[in-house]
Structure 1
Amino acid sequence: MVDISRTSTAAAVDVHRTTTASPAAVWEVLANGWYYPTWVVGAARIRAVSSHWPGVGAVLHHSVGAWPLLINDRTEVLSSEPERELVLLASVAPMGRAPVHLRLAPTAGGGCEITMAEDVAEGPARLIPGPVRQALIAPRNAETLRRLCYIAERRSE
């Protein structure tokens, strides 16, 4: 099992974004596993979603890449606190696995700040030096949060 505390190490990448959408509106998007490829950069399609998503142990079966070069993989829920935090274990074979922490904090005016923290915890990608991993993960996660906010803001109109 992956130690989810690894994302608090110096190599972890924290990306923040503030949205006018409420924590409830953002959680609605996170809680619908079928939306995953619309906001997660690199996810191409969903093949199956556990019926208890986003409960602990629930799994998304997804594919990453671009057709026809797709890799089938999965993401599992490690921890779930509605409208506050979702911790996922994302897998991309053969590169490795990475815990992903998504935290929602209410802001004045009814919106929220979303923090996404991620770092590789297992597999060959762990051999990439921390600063290089950060340079690859940070822009991807910034775009991921941008997409998540757009969807949540649209749903809350």
Structure 2
Amino acid sequence: MSIEERFIDASPDDVFRVFGDGWSYPSWVVGASRVRAVERAWPEAGAKISHSFGVWPAVIDDTTSIVEWEPPRRVVLIARGWPMGEARVAFALKPVSGGTHVTMTEDAVSGPGALVPRAIQALLLGPRNRETLRRLAWLAEGYREGTTD
């Protein structure tokens, strides 16, 4: 299991604008290379994004779905990445003076990745998830500054 935290210099609503834009997924999720489709119901619970991950020509198509959507506090995703498995990824947001404190928790829940001890998952996923939060911050801060529509 990987738990990473970051201060984002933007409101929780600005962060949720990024989460709510399914087409932006590969812009902030490290490893995602493209989005092929976003269900009309996105970002409601149960809705899916069809995405790909990896580097061409070794690109794998799969999906990510929303399990919980509670703006501006929490979003929980199930990110599929077979043959490696599925991960439950939760983002908890707290407004703090001048911005938002975001905690990202990722845990492999099925497939071969779920057999990896949590301490090893943390070592493997930590750097990727720190970069994911950094990219999320760039996008959310762009919304805050009005530089992204």
- Aligned partner letter, 1:76: S
- Aligned partner letter, 2:27: T
Could you tell me how far apart the structure 2 residues matched to 1:99 and 1:82 are? 18
Could you tell me how far apart the structure 1 residues matched to 2:69 and 2:118 are? 27
Q: 1:40-60, CA deviations, whole angstroms, 9 ceiling, x for partnerless residues? A: 000000000011111010000
Select which of 3, 6, 15 maps to 1:26.
Answer: 15
Could you tell me how far apart the structure 2 residues matched to 1:40 and 1:26 are? 14
Q: 1:64-115, CA deviations, whole angstroms, 9 ceiling, x for partnerless residues? A: 0011110000001111001111100001011111110011110012x10111
Aligned to 1:123: 111
Could you tell me how far apart the structure 2 residues matched to 1:72 and 1:145 are? 23
SS across alignment from 2:13: helix
Aligned to 2:30: 41
Aligned to 2:120: 132
Aligned to 2:52: 63
Q: Which runs of 5+ in 2 are unaligned?
A: none
Give 1 or 2: higher strand fraction: 2
Matches within 5 A, 1:102-117: 102-109=91-98, 111-117=99-105
CA contact (8 A) 2:3 2:122 kept: no
Could you tell me how far apart the structure 2 residues matched to 1:125 and 1:148 are? 24
Q: Which runs of 5+ in 1 are unaligned?
A: 1-11
Could you tell me how far apart the structure 1 residues matched to 2:144 and 2:130 are? 21
- Number of matched pairs: 145
SS across alignment from 1:91: strand
TM-score (norm 1): 0.90
Aligned to 1:92: 81
Instruction: Report % sequence identity.
Output: 46
Aligned to 1:148: 136
Q: CA RMSD in A?
A: 0.8
